[in-house]
Amino acid sequence: MTEQRRPGSGAVTRRAAVALVGNPNVGKSSLFNQLTGSRQHVANWPGKTVERHVGTCRLGAVDVEVVDLPGTYSLAGGSPEEQVAAALTDADLDVVVIVLDGTNLERNLFLAAEVAELGRPLVAVLNLTDAAARDGLVLDDVALGRALGAPVVRTVARTGLGLDELRATLEPLVGADDTNTDAPGGQTEHLSPHRGTGVLDAQTADAAVPPLPIAYGDEVDGELQRLVARLSVLDLDVQGDARWWALRLLEGNPEATRRVAASSDGARLAAEAAAAAARIHTSSGVAAALVLADRRYAWAHRVAAATVERSPAPRSHTDRLDAVLLHPWLGLPVFLTLMWLTFTLVVEVADPFIGWIEGLTEGPLARIVASALALVGLGDTWVEGALVDGLLPGLGAVLVFLPVLTMLYLALGVLEDSGYMARAAFLMDRVMAPIGLSGRSFLPLLLGFGCNVPGVYATRVLERRRDRVLTGLLLPFVSCAARLPVYVLLATVFFAGASGTVVFAMYLLSIATVLAVGAVLDRILLRDEQASSFILELPDYRRPGLRVLRHYVGQRVGAFVRQAGPVILVGAVGVWLLLAIPIGGSGSFTDTDLDESAFAATSRVLAPTLVPAGFGSTEVTGTLLTGMVAKEIMVATFWQVFDVEPPEELDETPTLADDLVEVGTGFLAATRDAVLAVPTMLGLELHVDQDVNDTSTLAAPLRAGLTASSGGHPLAAALALMVFVLLYLPCFATIGALRQELGIRWALLSVALSLSTAWLGATIVFQVGRLLAGLLGGG
Amino acid sequence: MITLDAVPLGSTVRVSTRMLPTADQRRLTELGLGHGARVEVLRRAPFGGPLALRLIHGGLLALRRCEAARIIVIVTEAVTND
């Protein structure tokens, strides 16, 4: 706790910090929301992509900072356990609140034991007591309090029941009861009879309740004592109980070992701990970490046996639901229906809102900005160009994602909080296992067929970071709906009669690429993070809490605007700049011919790299560049770069405004087309856009252009180009999403990976196609 | 003595020996599948997917069959046909 004297006021403001810790699915987020209301924010842990939820609540005269730690089953593993352990040993922490699931006490007590061993002020919250009562469980919170040496508060966090008692229990622990040093209200006293009592009290109590500290057996306890003695004489830069650190050292916890070894003379101690662990391993025949875990498990089992009384209960609603949802035959159709509903909700229900936002940024907003600039004498200058043609479409491109992502997070929140997502993972595990992914990856990849961006954000449902990285790297290879108009254009021009088959083949290639790249990445890139055992909790089905959902959706959408928004904006403005800057020629800034712009110059420089794939012309390269903003913009760009005679020469006025307005409308079209993408994928119907269908004027120059660049093999070049469009760079929005979810390094790796895969794929297709054409004597 | 993957659906077993890497055994213990834990084998996912287990002391878990094949159990209650 820290005290600060406010300058001038003379009043003392006290601050305190409380951490919430618990297993996943115990209602921790509900409790956090009940405690902090709307006074909360999300930030990342320093240097991590794991989120840190912090809120404040006022207890008496003290402002209490409440940290909601990620759900975890123990403190021993890697992420997120590492962050939880670090937060719990933070010097500024005043109270630890362990949240326990009343329906599942035995498993929850494993983590509770690890947390209680910290020796920090502890409050136990016994949550979901309503569900426990329904399951026929009678919970003895007095015995539980004795075992943990901590006050126990019974709550139903979703409805707020017990929250007043929790606040009253926390008050003295954060020093908020100065004005009332007597015991608080009788009701609270009744509900948490063991406040302030601890281990000493427990030793005189019921022998059936094993008190802390856990006895680990003579040998382990002896080693622990020696380590504790050594730890306490060292000047260590660590917080918390020496015994807790000794336990972590014996377990071989890498983070604890690193922290201790970093202290002066700590390296020798860490080595001694390793030797002690080896001795335990030798004498017991199992690793020291397992000896400790089994003892802790036995303790949890005994405490649960002494505190939980079972009476026969009717078959639970979870059992009844699972009988259908996990049924060998019914389970899969229900799963596919739910996934389809989610997909439809994300791409279709959001659609009208997208149109509205689109209209707003294109029309009224653009006009307002233009007239405002005219008022201050900047009309028709580069400033207007930059704002109306560069920044505003970029802003529109950010805004159109808000409805999509709102729907996405709503759907994810419901699937996750209801307990269904774990069932989806169970059902699809066998299908996803060959590419090293769990069943949970199915939904993100499915969403990717609509738009890669919500797909990337849906990787959040994956529990392991390794799975999130792998799924995120695979998503750009999933053929999003924005790529469909490009396939349709090329297929109609070059493969008339078989266009449907060719487009369908692109979807098959997309799936094949995901499988192949997934298998390769799983074995090479992520080998060090190899999937450990698949063990999954199937939580009880619960009604999602609306408050938690609302906070979740708001936070996620806000994070998108802050973190991916800038990437999209910079990308859109960057393409505008390329088009506006003159290189040579007679143009001036924002008033330059397309073929004299930096854009054309960049295209010319990059074009030779695409010659082996058969489409290394300035026109196609430029088109591919604009496709980075949004893939279906390429269709509009094709018209601009080819629709004039002769095709080698470009239109003198590149209708800059039209092109950049496409930045925004492109996303609209993408999402609209998303609805049509899946029937196409299933071969049911091929949606051909009206103006794309009318390719009569574009066909000849496009054919001539590819014939020239491919040395007379336009079909092979067209097919290679389609493959390239399928596989090359994720659009700016996807890069922004990847950066937000995985960090900048993985986002850049994704760019490199997709670019090289696309180049390789397109080159192979073109060269093989050319060879075959040569053998068959055709073109 | 039988491995967990071979237990008929509906039987209740007691976990005996887990022949898995230390980290995996630890994970099992953390989630309630410690030495001596009693579980009922509820169902199997399609296409040879994971097993669904009910811990007698509360909670449902899913476990892949290849891992279940490395957990030796003792059947305490054979499947009843009711």
For residue A240, the model assigns a pLDDT of 67
Give mean pLDDT, residues A214-228. 91
**Pair A541, A588 in one domain:** no
C-alpha span between B2 and A368 (Å, rounded): 76
Q: Is residue A77 part of a domain?
A: yes
Please tell me which of A83-92, A207-216, A589-598, A609-618 the model is most confident about, judged by mean pLDDT.
A609-618
For residue A666, the model assigns a pLDDT of 46
Write down which residue in A270, A296, A322 finishes a domain.
A296
pLDDT at A689 > cutoff 60: no
For residue A644, the model assigns a pLDDT of 44
**Pair A120, A36 in one domain:** yes
- Contact flag A533-B34 (C-beta cutoff 8 Å): no
Q: Is residue A493 part of a domain?
A: no
Chain B: closest CA distance from residue A285 (Å): 12
- A591, β-bridge pairs: A588
Residue appearing with tokens 């709503």: A410
User: A718 is in which domain, residue-wise?
Assistant: 566-743+753-776
pLDDT at A36 > cutoff 50: yes
Nearest chain A residue to B67, by CA? A533
The predicted-structure confidence for A236-282, as pLDDT tens digits, reads as follows 666 668 888 899 999 988 888 888 888 777 888 889 999 999 999 99
Q: What percent of chain A has pLDDT over 70?
A: 80
Where is average pLDDT lowest: A47-56, A631-640, A680-689? Answer: A680-689
For residue A584, the model assigns a pLDDT of 67
- The conformation of residue A582, written as its DSSP 8-state character, comes to B
- A2, β-bridge pairs: A15
**Pair A37, A176 in one domain:** yes
**Pair A113, A251 in one domain:** no
3-state secondary structure of A96: strand
**Pair A8, A138 in one domain:** yes
Nearest chain B residue to A439, by CA? B49
Interior angle at CA A315, CA A313 and CA A317, nearest 5 = 115
User: Residue A5 CB: number of other CB atoms within 10 A?
Assistant: 10
Chain B: closest CA distance from residue A737 (Å): 31
- Pairing status of strand A2-5 against strand A12-22: antiparallel
Nearest chain A residue to B60, by CA? A538
- Contact flag A304-B47 (C-beta cutoff 8 Å): no
For residue A9, the model assigns a pLDDT of 44
pLDDT at A203 > cutoff 50: no
- Contact flag A290-B58 (C-beta cutoff 8 Å): no
C-alpha span between A449 and A510 (Å, rounded): 10
The predicted-structure confidence for A289-312, as pLDDT tens digits, reads as follows 999 999 999 999 999 999 999 887
Residue from A155, A90, A156, A145 nearest A122 by CA: A145
Query: Which positions in chain B touch A104 (Cβ < 8 Å)?
Result: 58-59
- SS3 labels along chain B: CEEHHHCCCCCEEEEEEECCCHHHHHHHHHCCCCCCCEEEEEEECCCCCCEEEEECCCCEEEECHHHHCCEEEEEEECCCCC
Greater pLDDT, A714 or A587 = A714
pLDDT at B47 > cutoff 60: yes
The predicted-structure confidence for A573-590, as pLDDT tens digits, reads as follows 887 788 777 776 666 666
Query: Which positions in chain A touch B60 (Cβ < 8 Å)?
Result: 318, 322, 537-540
Nearest chain B residue to A110, by CA? B30
pLDDT at A186 > cutoff 70: no
Judging by beta carbons within 10 Å of its beta carbon (0-12, 13-18, 19+), is residue A283 exposed, middle or buried? exposed
Interior angle at CA A736, CA A733 and CA A740, nearest 5 = 140
pLDDT at B65 > cutoff 60: yes
Nearest chain A residue to B44, by CA? A328
> What are the tokens at A141?
């919170």
For residue A140, the model assigns a pLDDT of 94
For residue A587, the model assigns a pLDDT of 64
- Contact flag B64-A76 (C-beta cutoff 8 Å): no
| A537 in contact with chain B, both atoms CB, cutoff 8 A | yes
Q: Is residue A317 part of a domain?
A: no
> What are the tokens at A561?
């605007």
Q: How confident is the model at residue A342 (pLDDT cuts 50, 70, 90)?
A: confident
Write down which residue in A142, A177, A203 finishes a domain.
A203
DSSP secondary structure string for all residues of A609-627: GGGGGT---HHHHHHHHHH
Query: Which positions in chain A touch B48 (Cβ < 8 Å)?
Result: 430
Q: What is the pTM of this model?
A: 0.77
Q: Is residue A448 part of a domain?
A: yes
Which CATH class for the B2-77 domain? mainly beta
Can you list the positions of beta strands (E) in A232-391? 308-310
Chain B: closest CA distance from residue A109 (Å): 9
For residue A555, the model assigns a pLDDT of 83
The predicted-structure confidence for A371-393, as pLDDT tens digits, reads as follows 788 887 777 777 777 777 777 77
* Chain B interface, Cβ < 8 Å to A: 20-37, 42-50, 52, 55, 57-64, 67
Nearest chain A residue to B37, by CA? A301
**Pair A609, A516 in one domain:** no
Name the average pLDDT for chain A.
79
For residue A779, the model assigns a pLDDT of 44
Write down which residue in A146, A170, A203 finishes a domain.
A203
For residue A191, the model assigns a pLDDT of 29
Comparing CB atoms, the residue among B22, B30, B59 nearest residue A104 is: B59
Residue from B3, B28, B69 nearest A294 by CA: B28
Q: Is residue A764 part of a domain?
A: yes
**Pair A704, A631 in one domain:** yes
Total domain count, chain A:
4
**Pair A530, A575 in one domain:** no
The predicted-structure confidence for A542-554, as pLDDT tens digits, reads as follows 888 888 888 888 8
- In this prediction the ipTM stands at 0.93
- Pairing status of strand B12-18 against strand B71-77: antiparallel
C-alpha span between B52 and A326 (Å, rounded): 9
Q: Is residue A344 part of a domain?
A: yes
Comparing CB atoms, the residue among A106, A287, A318 nearest residue B32 is: A106
For residue B75, the model assigns a pLDDT of 92
Q: Is residue A226 part of a domain?
A: yes
Query: Which positions in chain B touch A286 (Cβ < 8 Å)?
Result: 22
Judging by beta carbons within 10 Å of its beta carbon (0-12, 13-18, 19+), is residue B38 exposed, middle or buried? middle
**Pair A276, A349 in one domain:** no
Chain B: closest CA distance from residue A448 (Å): 24
For residue A238, the model assigns a pLDDT of 67
The predicted-structure confidence for A425-437, as pLDDT tens digits, reads as follows 899 888 888 777 8
| A74 in contact with chain B, both atoms CB, cutoff 8 A | yes
**Pair A239, A108 in one domain:** no
Query: Which positions in chain B touch A304 (Cβ < 8 Å)?
Result: 57
Q: Are the CB atoms for A616 and A634 separated by under 8 Å?
A: no
pLDDT at A398 > cutoff 70: yes
User: Residue A115 CB: number of other CB atoms within 10 A?
Assistant: 25
